[in-house]
Structure formats: C-alpha cells, structure tokens
C-alpha cells in the first residue's frame, strides 16, 4: 500500500450500466445474456455486477484493473482448489471491443455479506477460519509468481505513505502511539523465508461473512509472492477485538519479527481505511464512508495489543518460523 492508493481515480472513463453489461454479454457470451444483471455496491478497481445467482461480471474502472484481472485469471485456478474458504474463480473472459475498450471477466459469485457492511459475531471461529485459510495460502510460490510491486516489501519501504496517512486523519491525541507501532515494525528484521503466496489486500471489503463468521475471500488482484506479514495484519484489520491471540496461535507460522511487521502494517491499513472513510464523508472521489468506522475500530485493536507480548508466538512442536513449502 502506497500513498498513490489514496489518490488513484476510480471514475470510469465510460459509464458502465446494466444495459452495457447486457450488450457485451450478447456480443461475446450470448448463452449468459438472459441472466439477470444487478449492480453490486462498492468496488475499487472494478465495478461488479451480479449475473444470475452464481456468477458476477467484473468491469474494470481504473487503468490498472485489466492487469489485476489477468493475474486473477492466471493464478486463481491454481490456488482455489486448496483454499478452505470460498474464493471467486474465473469462468469467462470478455475481450476489448468497440463498446468497451478494456478486458473484463466473469467470475463465480461468493455468497455472503462483505465485512464492511456487517460484523463478525463468532470471533473465535473467525480467528480459526482465517488462520486455516492463510496457512493454506502461505506456501512457497513458484518462480514465475507475481512479485512485489506497490506492496509486499518490508514496512520500511512504505514510510512515506504511512507519514501521509498519519498526517491526514484525526487521531485524537494517539498519533505518538501509532508512530511507535510503525517504528517497531520498521525496526523488525525482514522476512527470511521463501516468498510465499500473499493475498495482499485483506480488509473488511474483501472478506465475506455468513452466519457470523468468515465464509469467503474476494479480490485477489493484488496477489503476490513475498512477506506473509501483509496478510497477517488481518488479525487486527479483519478480526474482532481479542481474536488476534487465538489467530496467531492457530496460524502457528509467524515468528516475533513477522508479528511486529504485521502489527505495523495493520496500523498502516487502518489509517488508509480511515482516510478513505474521511474522503467519503466529504464527498471526495474514491471515498468510502463505511470504511472510516472499520478503520478506527481496527486501529483501536492494534493499539490495545502489544505485538511483542500479547500475541507473542507459541510455536507448535517442529515449528521453524518459516513458511511451508508446496
């Protein structure tokens, strides 16, 4: 996550409507064109439309979105079969045309409600579920896996973005506490294991909840091979108060340095969510009003725990602190 994340435009160059989606389906996938098309609220790089009950059309609305969709289509078929939660799977591809000049995709629909519109009531279950999911995902990636771009490296490379977020949001006198968490993450040793598969963008809008617990993970466009701390930040950003300890016990593949980096990255992500919420309240482009409360709650969870003590790793027998290998 970088400073540019908060400033990238999200307005489509072409107005994307249900009629346009239906016309594109008739042109390229006529066997699906009679299914009901319904707009889905939210989205950042892509605007999503339900297609019938089991599919979704993802229409790119930022310059980088088509490349993110290519990444999902390339790697999700490889990853999805071994992941214990529902994730979208590519079904069809739409090619650029005179009606719409960008590549678009049809994916399976992941049922449930995004966490930025609901809450987790079964915290222990959600902690275990997220740990199981990330243990399955965080295995050594092949050499041809996508590498680090604007996220995935050591937190120290993101200090400029962190400073911008810290200046931009109201912290009610807690800026020094947040800075201390970040400084501790920057001081932590770098990831020494092999680059592992990392979702890269776990936050409340990208996880799905059913029956009070996590039931799915969406939006793999930022997938990369690198430091798992970027996903482990979800212990604070996604899970409710008090669940981080149980999560790290269940995950059992994070050493102390990784937890320190993860906690700092959770602070970074929390500030970003707060800034997007603030922008939404002000009616600014790309703003997400619902993200503000989610970010503030996440930051409260970060500051209420000590990454060196409260969630200190308790390894299982044979644990080496390194990622599992495929």
Does 100 share its domain with 235? no
User: Is 308 a domain residue?
Assistant: no
How would residue 317 be classed by pLDDT, with cut points 50, 70 and 90? very low
3 state SS of 53: coil
Distances (CA, A) of 31 to 17, 24, 103: 20, 12, 19
Q: How far apart are the C-alpha atoms of 122 and 211, rounded to whole Å?
A: 8
| Average pLDDT rounded to a whole number, residues 139-164 | 94
Does 149 share its domain with 9? no
Does 297 share its domain with 273? yes
**Given a cut of 60, is residue 214 above it in pLDDT?**
yes
Domain that holds residue 258: 113-303
Q: How far apart are the C-alpha atoms of 260 and 256, rounded to whole Å?
A: 6
| Residue range 216-242, pLDDT digits in tens | 999 999 999 999 999 999 999 999 999
| Average pLDDT rounded to a whole number, residues 154-163 | 96
DSSP code of residue 200:
-
Which of these, 91, 115, 113, lies nearest to 104 by C-alpha position?
91
Which of these, 313, 170, 162, lies nearest to 235 by C-alpha position?
313
Domain end call among 108, 137, 171: 108
User: Is 241 a domain residue?
Assistant: yes
Does 132 share its domain with 97? no
Does 137 share its domain with 225? yes
Q: How far apart are the C-alpha atoms of 54 and 31, rounded to whole Å?
A: 14
| Residue range 23-74, pLDDT digits in tens | 999 999 999 999 999 999 877 789 999 999 999 999 998 888 999 999 999 9
| Sign of the Cα pseudo-torsion (212, 214, 215, 221, in order) | positive
User: Is 312 a domain residue?
Assistant: no
Domain end call among 75, 108, 141: 108
Look-up of token digits 């107005």: 15
| Residue range 76-114, pLDDT digits in tens | 999 999 999 999 999 999 999 999 999 999 999 999 999
Q: How far apart are the C-alpha atoms of 140 and 83, rounded to whole Å?
A: 15
> Where in the chain does DSSP place strands (E)?
37-40, 46-51, 55-60, 90-94, 104-108, 113-114, 196-198, 207-210, 213-217, 224-226
Distances (CA, A) of 34 to 26, 30, 60, 319: 8, 8, 22, 53
Does 66 share its domain with 148? no
How many Cβ atoms are within 10 Å of 111's Cβ, its own excluded?
12
Which of these, 193, 192, 268, lies nearest to 230 by C-alpha position?
268
Does 93 share its domain with 187? no
- Average confidence score pLDDT of the chain: 91
**Model pLDDT, residue 307:** 61
Does 153 share its domain with 276? yes
User: Is 324 a domain residue?
Assistant: no
Does 123 share its domain with 268? yes
**Model pLDDT, residue 44:** 75
Does 37 share its domain with 128? no
Does 121 share its domain with 28? no
CATH of the domain at 25: 3.30.200.20
Give residues with Cβ within 8 angstroms of 159, minimum separation 6.
182, 186
User: Is 314 a domain residue?
Assistant: no
CATH of the domain at 228: 3.90.1200.10
**Model pLDDT, residue 149:** 80
Please tell me the total count of domains within the chain. 2
Does 14 share its domain with 140? no
With 0-12 CB in 10 A as exposed, 13-18 as middle and 19+ as buried, what is 130? buried
Domain end call among 108, 138, 159: 108
């Amino acid at each position: 996550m970088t400073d540019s994340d908060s400033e990238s435009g999200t307005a489509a160059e072409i107005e994307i409507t249900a009629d346009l989606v239906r016309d594109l389906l008739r042109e390229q996938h006529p066997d699906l064109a009679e299914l009901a098309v319904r707009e889905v609220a939210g989205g950042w790089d892509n605007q999503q439309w339900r297609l019938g009950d089991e599919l979704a059309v993802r229409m790119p609305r930022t310059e980088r979105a088509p490349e993110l969709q290519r990444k999902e289509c390339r790697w999700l078929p490889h990853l999805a079969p071994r992941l214990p939660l529902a994730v979208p799977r590519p079904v069809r591809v739409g090619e650029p045309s005179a009606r719409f000049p960008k590549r678009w995709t049809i994916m399976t629909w992941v049922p449930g409600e995004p966490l930025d519109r609901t809450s987790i009531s079964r915290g222990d279950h959600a902690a275990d579920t997220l740990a199981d999911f990330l243990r399955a995902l965080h295995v050594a990636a092949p050499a041809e896996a996508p590498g680090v771009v604007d996220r995935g490296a050591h937190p120290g490379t993101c200090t400029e973005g962190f400073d911008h977020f810290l200046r931009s949001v109201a912290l009610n006198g807690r800026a020094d506490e947040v800075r201390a968490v970040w400084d501790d993450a920057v001081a932590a040793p770098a990831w020494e294991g092999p680059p592992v598969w990392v979702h890269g963008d776990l936050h409340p809008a990208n996880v799905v909840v059913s029956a009070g617990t996590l039931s799915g993970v969406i939006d793999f466009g930022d997938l990369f091979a690198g430091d798992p701390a970027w996903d482990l930040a979800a212990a604070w950003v996604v899970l409710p108060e008090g669940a981080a300890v149980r999560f790290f016990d269940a995950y059992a593949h994070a050493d102390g340095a990784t937890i320190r980096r993860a906690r700092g990255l959770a602070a970074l992500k929390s500030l970003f969510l707060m800034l997007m919420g603030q922008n939404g309240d002000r009616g600014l482009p790309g703003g997400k009003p619902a993200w503000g409360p989610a970010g503030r709650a996440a930051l409260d969870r970060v500051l209420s725990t000590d990454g060196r003590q409260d969630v200190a790793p308790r390894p299982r027998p044979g644990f080496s602190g390194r990622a599992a290998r495929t």
